[in-house]
Amino acid sequence: MPITVSIVEDNDKLRGTLARLLDRSDGFRCLSQYATAEDALKDLPQARPNVVLMDINLPGMNGVECVRQLKALAPEIQVMMLTVYEDTENIFNALTAGANGYMLKRTSSKELLEAIREVHRGGSPMTMHIARKVVQSFQQTAATAQPTEHLSPREQEVLDFLSQGLLYKEISEKLGISYETVHTYIRRIYEKLQVRTRTEAVAKFLRR
């Protein structure tokens, strides 16, 4: 079954380009498109796409507030921000609201499709630049804290790659292991560190 994707983007040209990219790529289908957050919230809880691509700067309600309300209505929908904004405030506001990933609009088509696949699988894709911003922010605000559990050398290696913004597929290629094995390592890391998200895991790892 193809991954169904809905797009919330007020730029008509970009919205159309993204829709065509999805419909022309194997394993994807553009389910619906919206120019405003208000229109998206009326339809998405019933449409139930696998993944939503969400802009931040929308007319009326912004994308971050849209994510917050959508997650309350349909928490199983995976939302990935797709925006030009790369400042720390917008990043953390989006992640706190419930966004599952954060990618920039300048991301290549190939990387964007892989990020959609990853967020559909339960990952939290971010561009390397965004991941570094997340890391730096945690370093500045919690530099003296300690992780709750000791990680094995391989688990530390996997988490180090996560902190660099690598996708699960890229980690599997670098380590010469399967995607499923990477996913198993990350699940164990989350359990040991008592966290639920990539951002929390990276933060605790960097406090060691």
What CATH number has the domain bearing residue 151? 1.10.10.10
**pLDDT band at residue 197 under the 50/70/90 scheme:** confident
Give the β-pairing of 101-104 and 3-8.
unpaired
Residue showing tokens 């088509």: 109
73 with 21, same domain? yes
Domain boundary among 88, 106, 125: 125
Statement to judge: residues 50 and 100 lie in one domain:
yes
Sorted by sequence, the CB contacts under 8 Å of residue 130 that are 6+ apart come out as 86, 91, 102, 103, 104, 165
Shared-domain flag, residues 13 and 92: yes
pLDDT in tens, 51-73: 999 999 999 999 999 999 999 99
DSSP 207: T
Residues 121 and 26 placed together within one structural domain of the fold: yes
Are 10 and 111 found together in one domain?
A: yes
The most confident of the ranges 39-43, 95-99, 149-153, 194-198 is 39-43
Domain boundary among 73, 96, 125: 125
CA 199 – CA 101 distance, rounded (Å): 10
User: pTM higher than 0.85 for the full model?
Assistant: no
Same domain, 36 and 59: yes
Residues 17-36, mean pLDDT to the nearest whole number: 97
For residue 167, the enclosing domain spans: 134-206
For residue 207, the model assigns a pLDDT of 60
Contact 114, 80 (CB under 8 A): no
- Note the maximum CA span of the chain: 49
- Is there a single domain that holds both residue 17 and residue 108? yes
Count the domains in the chain. 2
Q: What is the mean pLDDT of residues 15-38?
A: 97
- Provide the pLDDT confidence category of residue 139 given band limits of 50, 70 and 90: low
157-187 per-position pLDDT tens digit: 898 888 888 888 999 999 999 999 999 998 8
Q: Record the tokens describing residue 172, joined without a space.
A: 């599997």
Domain at 67, CATH number: 3.40.50.2300
